[in-house]
Each structure stands twice: as structure tokens, then as C-alpha cells.
Amino acid sequence: MIEIDGVGPVLFERSKRAKRISISVKPLKGVRVAVPYRLSFKKAAQFAQIKADWIKIHLEKMKQYERQGYFNSNPADGIDREEAKTLLTMRLKQLAKNNGFSYNRVFIRNQKTRWGSCSSKNNISLNMKLVKLPDELIDYVILHELVHTRKKDHSKAFWAEMDKFVGNGKKMASKLKRHS
């Protein structure tokens, strides 16, 4: 924990996954700086000091959210995990069969930052909160993960494949962001 002028305490953590310095401001956790192994904490602290104005703006937003009670409720409230598992698994099977996709296993999770993911072994994870989205967005997320069983990245080839199934994949991605 390092004190940054005008910001307060900031947690600096080494990260094997970080390719660059990353600053995040989270409720109840405060400010965290992920530091790649190749960089020193001194350089990371200098970077955080340069970004102090950005950090202050985001800390103030977080305080406003906290005052409004934004973080006091569970975002998965009202969703039955078993019901979500049944609905999403059924829809995944249907879309995979109708479009000639195969996958290994499916997992339904209560994720905070992802709607879905596809592992290198073609295991598909879906966020149980998907059931609260419009049907077209549920299908978009499921098809997105199914396309990842063939294309493991977000290359032009991936988006061309997506467009075969959902029309304009990037337009659907921006629609989905409005629900995040």
C-alpha cells in the first residue's frame, strides 16, 4: 500500500497476467494498480501519480454510487440459478445443433464482468444474469461463445463468422454493452 498525493492509499500488486500498468477503482476495495513483473513499483507509483486526476474522478463516482445504495444489492437477485441453468443450457444446445457447432461442457456462473467465455477445451461458461436480457442478446452471447469453439480470438475472421449467424455482430456487441 502506497500513499498517493491527493488520492490516498493505493494497493500495488504484481500480476503475471498484466502486460501493462492497469489502474482500477472498485467499491469496498478502493484503488488497485496491477504491475507487470518487468516494471518496478517505483515506475508504477509514478504512473499512478500522473493519473491522480483520473483516479480522483473515479473515486468520486464510486462514492456517489455508494451513497445511492448502488452496491448494496446483489445483481443476481431474483434469478434462480437452476432455472437459469435449464433455460440457458437448453438454448445453447438448440443453437449449437441448428448451426452445426459442438462444445464440450457448459457452466452457468454468477460472474461480475463477463457474459460468457469459451475455454481452449471448448467448455462454455455463461453468466446466469443473461436470463434478464432480451432474447436476441442471449442468442448473441451464446453464438459468440459457440463461434469461439472455431475461432479462439476476435480477429476479422471471427467477426466474419459471427456475422453469418447474427447479421452485424459488432452492432450487437454495442447493444450488449448498454446492458453491462
24-49 mean pLDDT: 84
pLDDT digits (tens, 9 = 90+) for 73-126: 454 556 777 888 888 999 999 999 999 999 999 999 888 888 999 999 999 999
Domains and CATH numbers, the chain: 2-67 (no CATH), 81-177 (3.30.2010.10)
Sign of the alpha-carbon dihedral angle for 128, 108, 112, 67: positive
Q: How many residues does the chain have?
A: 180
